[in-house]
Amino acid sequence: RKEVEQDPGPFNVPEGATVAFNCTYSNSASQSFFWYRQDCRKEPKLLMSVYSSGNEDGRFTAQLNRASQYISLLIRDSKLSDSATYLCVVNGYHGSSNTGKLIFGQGTTLQVKP
Amino acid sequence: AAGVIQSPRHLIKEKRETATLKCYPIPRHDTVYWYQQGPGQDPQFLISFYEKMQSDKGSIPDRFSAQQFSDYHSELNMSSLELGDSALYFCASSFWTSGGSYNEQFFGPGTRLTVL
């Protein structure tokens, strides 16, 4: 079982739609959570960090539920340019030590259609 | 703003050859991470360095080694290349804050290695 699990999709949505991605992680010691976006054959780009209180950046809202070890990303008013793979990412821990490494989910593919 | 620089961007090697990948972190970032992404897979952590010392090691083959230099750039050395080493190799950098939480990592454009 992967340490970070995501539904790979693809999610095919029309422009203007609201879409939500979910992710679960297995290490309850994890403290840092992120969503990255990756376009085909390009580098992952940090979309947003996910804080305990939840956070919003324009059309993007991220939520964290530590009790359920669950992270979500909501995209409102989808644009064609939002088409990409969205990677749920968790900081790796060894015991109580934050090792700094990132552990990636397998990614969720979003395709926004006109 | 300056980003992470990686070179070369593309590299083609034969089996059993060696390769050296270079990474120049964002200015003032003190931590460098290397990741490998195979076709259709998510990035896998290889190794990291903080202030020129190895800080963590992941699923990196013994044939690979890396180091961080005094100017904070890092090199990943790969020997006895195998077909399965064909992948995208990303370098990321961050500034390691006190407590280590939320060390946001920024990725370079990657080196695409093809082993024939």
- pLDDT tens for each residue of B3-58: 999 999 999 999 999 999 999 999 989 899 999 999 999 999 999 998 899 988 99
Decide if B106 touches A, using CB distance below 8 A.
Answer: yes
Q: Residue by residue, what is the 3-state secondary structure of A30-66?
A: CCCEEEEEECCCCCCEEEEEECCCCEEECCEEEEEEC
CA distance A8 to A105: 9
Work out how many CB contacts closer than 8 A connect A with B.
65
Confidence of residue B102 (pLDDT cuts 50, 70, 90): low
Give A84: exposed, middle or buried? Use CB within 10 Å, 0-12, 13-18, 19+: buried
pLDDT of A31: 84
Reported as half-sphere exposure (CB side, CA atoms, 13 A), residue A27 has a value of 21
Report residue A81: phi and psi, to 5°: -70, -10
Closest to B56 (Cβ–Cβ): which among A42, A44, A100?
A100
Q: Is the pLDDT of residue A95 over 90?
A: no
Q: Which of residues 1-30 of B touch A (CB under 8 A)?
A: none
Q: Is the pLDDT of residue B73 over 80?
A: yes
CA distances (Å), A114 to each of A1, A8, A15, A83, A108, in order? 36, 22, 5, 11, 20
CA distance A16 to B17: 50
For the segment A29-69, what is each residue's pLDDT rounded down to a tens digit? 888 899 999 999 899 999 999 988 889 999 999 999 999 99
State the pairing for strand pair A33-38/A70-75.
Answer: unpaired
Write b or e for each residue in B9-44: b if 16 or more Cβ atoms lie within 10 A of its Cβ, otherwise e: eebebeeeeebebbbbbbeebebbbbbbbeeeebbb
Closest to A98 (Cβ–Cβ): which among B41, B45, B100?
B100
Q: Are B4 and B25 spatial neighbours (Cβ–Cβ below 8 Å)?
A: yes
Q: Are A107 and A7 spatial neighbours (Cβ–Cβ below 8 Å)?
A: no
For the segment A10-21, what is each residue's pLDDT rounded down to a tens digit? 999 999 999 999
Whether B45 and A92 lie within 8 Å, measured CB to CB: yes
